Amino acid sequence: MAHIFLTGATSGIGKALCLQLLKDGHTVFGTGRSKEKLHALEEEAPGDFHPILMDLASFSSIKDALKTHEKTLSQIEILINNAGATSAKKIITEDGNEMQLQVNHLAVVYLTHWFYPLLKTNQGMVITTSSDAHRRTKFSKKALYDQTPYKIFKRYQETKLYNLMFMYYCDRVLGRDPVRFYAVHPGLVKTDLGAKNASWLVDKVWKLFSAPGQDPEGPVPTYLKLINERPSEYVYYAYERPNHHLPVVEEEEKQTLLMTHACEHLSISTFGVRE
């Protein structure tokens, strides 16, 4: 059984995945930004669950949590970047980044960078939640550098594109041994993601849009397949099968631009090497 670090463990897909992983006998270190929700999950958890208070909208929170738990995290074999956020209004974090960009993408890059040396030692894997929502946008340098008008769902689509490109970059540059990199399209799921930090109108639209979707448990088998089978081909999966993506996802020049942007914002000189 594996030691797994899972972000966004207290609600939606993350909670459903966390509970199933624990039932299967894995050890899960699950993050959340609410002490109350983490405590409730700890009470409900059927196995070896370790709650970690972490707010992905604050890099000081991320770094403090990793430092506090550094010794116990040394056995991590699987990193699951699952947490996500939306906001009807543009929010700038304490780190100076647009909130969706930071929570949905920059935090993913930072955590992958931080865990990579451990994952190399433990022959592990990284699974990042992306989305076919990436098909509804285009890669734009101006959007990446937050120089375009903010629109809630457009920004969400962009961050999901960035994450998919990031996983393909890691697969291409870092290789498939000893660490594997995957991305998952969970499909339409009935969660409150699109209603968080939203106006009443956006909340209503999201609820109507997501009403036909599957329960949060629906995507869990895809994550389990990757963990249990460690497929040697393909990066992007949905419904337990390889999934298609936009061609831009594998364009090396744009991947490099994406990584340059992330490393600049995160003060990373060499990705995957802690200083």
Which structural domain range is residue 262 located in?
3-266
Residue that wins the pLDDT comparison between 210 and 159: 159
For 154-189, how does the pLDDT look when each residue is reduced to its tens digit (9 = 90+)?
A: 999 999 999 999 999 999 999 999 999 999 999 987
Bridge partners for 72 per DSSP: none
Percent of the chain having pLDDT more than 90?
Answer: 86
For the chain, the average pLDDT equals 93
Residue 183 lies in a domain: yes
Residue 218 lies in a domain: yes
Bridge partners for 128 per DSSP: 81, 183
Contacts 24+ apart (CB under 8 A), 250-256: 250/168, 250/172, 251/139, 252/172, 254/139, 254/165, 255/165, 255/166, 255/168, 255/169, 255/172, 256/169
CA distances from residue 79 to 21, 43, 142, 144, 271 in whole angstroms, order as listed: 13, 23, 30, 25, 16
Give 103's DSSP letter: I
Residue 272 lies in a domain: no
Residue 19 lies in a domain: yes
Residue 273 lies in a domain: no
Percent of the chain having pLDDT more than 70?
Answer: 91
Give the global pTM: 0.94
The confidence score (pLDDT) of residue 192 equals 61
Residue 274 lies in a domain: no
Residue that is written with structure tokens 């339409």 in the block: 188
Give 123's DSSP letter: T
Number of H helices, E strands in the chain: 10, 8
Give 70's DSSP letter: T
Q: Which of 160-164, 198-202, 271-275 is predicted with the least confidence, judged by mean pLDDT?
A: 198-202
Work out the pLDDT band at 211, boundaries 50, 70, 90. Answer: low
Work out the pLDDT band at 214, boundaries 50, 70, 90. Answer: confident
CB 170 within 8 Å of CB 126:
yes
Q: Which of 71-80, 127-136, 210-219 is predicted with the least confidence, judged by mean pLDDT?
A: 210-219
Residue 150 lies in a domain: yes
* CATH code of 179's domain: 3.40.50.720
Domain count within the chain: 1
Q: Which two tokens stand for residue 204?
A: 């209503």
Q: In this model, does residue 118 exceed pLDDT 90?
A: yes
The confidence score (pLDDT) of residue 103 equals 98
Residue 236 lies in a domain: yes
